[in-house]
Amino acid sequence: MRKASVVLSALVVFVMVVFSGRPSHAFDLELELLYLEPTNMDTTYATDEHGYPTSVPHEVLEMHTVDHPYAPAYRLTVGHRGWNLSYLSFSDSEKDSVTSTDPANDIHLSTGLPGFAPWACDECTVSADSEIDFSMFSFYKETPLTQGGPFSANYRAGLRYVSIEHDVDTLLDWTDPTSWDYLDAYSLDTSAFGLYAGLNGLWQISNSLDLGFDMGLSLLYGSTDGKYQSIWIDPSTGACPSTGNCFTWDWDKDTIIPMVDLAVRLTYRVMNNLDVFAGYNMLYLANAGNMQEFVDDVNDGRVVDINRSLGFGGPSLGVRYITD
C-alpha cells in the first residue's frame, strides 16, 4: 500500500511538470523530518500474578503493555503553481516480554481467546511484538486568502488518503522444550480516502523570521479489516499440528473517519529561495480501528479502557527550497 502511494505520488508530480506549460525547474520542494509519538496504540498482552494469593487482598497483579514511544517519520511535499502533493510516512516496531521461573507465579495471557488459548503459565516467557505503519497522501490546491502586510493566509482544498496497519503478535514460550507453545496474531488494516480542506497563516516577525500555523480537516470513507489467528505450535515441527489446534477469524467494517491535523512553525529564511523551519505537529483520527478494542472484543468480557481515536504528535525540523 505504501509502495503504491509512492508510485502514485511520482506519477502525479510527473504529470504536473509535463503539462504545466512552465519549465520543469519551477517548483517548491519541502522535506520535513518528524519525531512522532502514537497515541492510543499501546496493547496490553499479559498480566503477571505474583504468587498464589490466599485471599483477594493479598493478590499482586502487574499488567504488561507493549508501548510505542516517539519514533522518526518524514514528510515530502512538492508544490507547483499552487498545486501541492504531500506524502507522510511513519513506521515503528516495539517488543516487550515477561518471564516467570517460579511455579508460584502465573502469567495470564491478555490476548488469548477464552476456552481455546492457555489460561496461564508459570515457568514460561510471554513476549509481544507490535508494529505500526502509517502513511498519508494529500493532493490539494492552495489559493491565497489574504496577502500583503505582516500577515498572509491561504486556504486549500483537495483529496487525502490514509493507511494505518497495526500488527501485534503474542507468543507464549514454555520453558519445557517438549511443551507446545502458543501464538496470538492480531492484524488491523485501516485505509480511507476522501476530501481535505485547510487553512494556513504566516506572520512576518522580521525580514528573515516567520511564525506560521497550519490546520486541516478531512472527512474520509474507507474500511477496517481485522484478522485474528490462534495458533498452537508443536515443538517437534515448529508449526500447527492440525486445523483443530489453530483457527483464523476475519472481521471488517466500513467506516467514516473525521481527521484533524494541526501544526505550528517557526521559519528562518537562509536566502531568497531557501528556508529552514522547526515546528510541532498533531494528527487526530476518530472512529479508526483500534488494536486494544480488537483484543478486547476477542476476549469478550475483559474490562479494558478503550478509546477508538488514534493520533500522532511531535516536533519536526525541515527545509524548503523555492524556485521561480
Q: Answer whether residue 238 is part of any domain.
A: no
**Mean pLDDT along residues 277-298:** 89
- Which CATH number characterizes residue 18's domain? 2.40.128
CB hemisphere CA count around 208 (13 angstroms) = 7
CB hemisphere CA count around 47 (13 angstroms) = 13
The pLDDT tens digits for 130-188 are 999 999 999 999 999 987 788 999 999 999 999 999 999 999 998 888 788 899 999 99
Q: Answer whether residue 14 is part of any domain.
A: yes
Q: Are 189 and 290 in contact (CB under 8 A)?
A: no
Average pLDDT, the chain: 84
Q: Select from 163, 154, 119, 168 the least CA-distant residue to 6.
A: 163
**Can you give the residue range of the structural domain that contains 160?**
2-171+188-223+253-322
Q: What is the pLDDT of residue 14?
A: 47
Higher model confidence: residue 14 or residue 72?
Answer: 72
Q: Answer whether residue 180 is part of any domain.
A: no
Q: Which three cell numbers stand for residue 25?
A: 525547474
Q: Answer whether residue 306 is part of any domain.
A: yes
Helix (H) or strand (E) holding 6: helix 2-18
Q: Grid cell 500555523 — which residue?
A: 213
Least reliable range by pLDDT among 68-72, 217-221, 320-324: 320-324
Q: Answer whether residue 232 is part of any domain.
A: no
Angle at 29 between CA 26 and CA 33, to 5 degrees: 175
Q: Answer whether residue 231 is part of any domain.
A: no
Helices (H), 134-277: none
Q: Cα(70)–Cα(94) distance, rounded to whole angstroms?
A: 11
Please report, rounded to a whole number, the percentage of residues in the chain having pLDDT higher than 90.
50
Q: Answer whether residue 13 is part of any domain.
A: yes
210 alpha carbon, distance to own chain's centre: 31
Q: Select from 243, 241, 182, 193 the least CA-distant residue to 220.
A: 193
Tell me which amino acid residue 286 is. A
| Residue 306 predicted with pLDDT over 60 | no
Tell me which amino acid residue 247 is. F
Q: Answer whether residue 248 is part of any domain.
A: no
The pLDDT tens digits for 209-259 are 999 999 999 999 998 888 888 888 888 777 787 766 788 888 888 889 999
Q: Which three cell numbers stand for residue 269?
A: 529564511
Domain total of the chain? 1
The pLDDT tens digits for 108-129 are 888 887 777 777 788 889 999 9
